[in-house]
Homo-oligomer: A and B are copies of this chain.
Amino acid sequence: MFSKSCEYAIKATIYIAEQAGFDKRVGLKEIAQAIDSPEAFTAKILQQLSKNRIVDSVKGPSGGFSMDKKNLEVLKLSQIVKAIDGDSVYKGCGLGFNECSEKKPCPVHYKFKTIRDELRNMLETTSVKDLSMNLNKGLAFLKK
């Protein structure tokens, strides 16, 4: 569904959001441990998230990554996915055609349309807060 990078990005964002809820700023090392991801690779992804203003970062002692609490409801899964994987998930054709459309549908077009539309809708309506709330309730887990 998503690239590994994107999976890490989602996990990292959820973790940062969770900690931001406690007004905690968290460092790369802590994040990588929490979501069980390779540190250096995660650093790259956090850079992208930071550039895309999905998280904010501060250098130096007691620095690290955090998020604007007020933004947690507004920030949608779709924005993370877009920042890392682009819009391939949205406009991607089931058979990899890029000209695939309503007017020139590929053989699987109509079969896939519903599902991709729903996926899009789900990503666009699910906020980071939705996900981190689940996490706090113990209904879900982040680390393998």
Contact = CB atoms under 8 A, between A and B. Distances in A.
Interface stretch (A24-32, A50-58, A61-69, A93-101): A93-101
Contacts of A86: none
Contacts of A111: 77, 122, 126, 130-131
Contacts of A122: 111-112, 114-115
A119 interface: yes
Given A1-B94, A92-B1, A108 B144 contact: no
Interface residues of A, number: 40
A72 interface: no
Contacts of A2: 94
Given A4-B96, A122-B115, A144-B99, A108 B139 contact: no
10 contacts: A7-B94, A7-B96, A10-B108, A99-B144, A105-B134, A106-B141, A107-B131, A107-B134, A111-B131, A112-B122
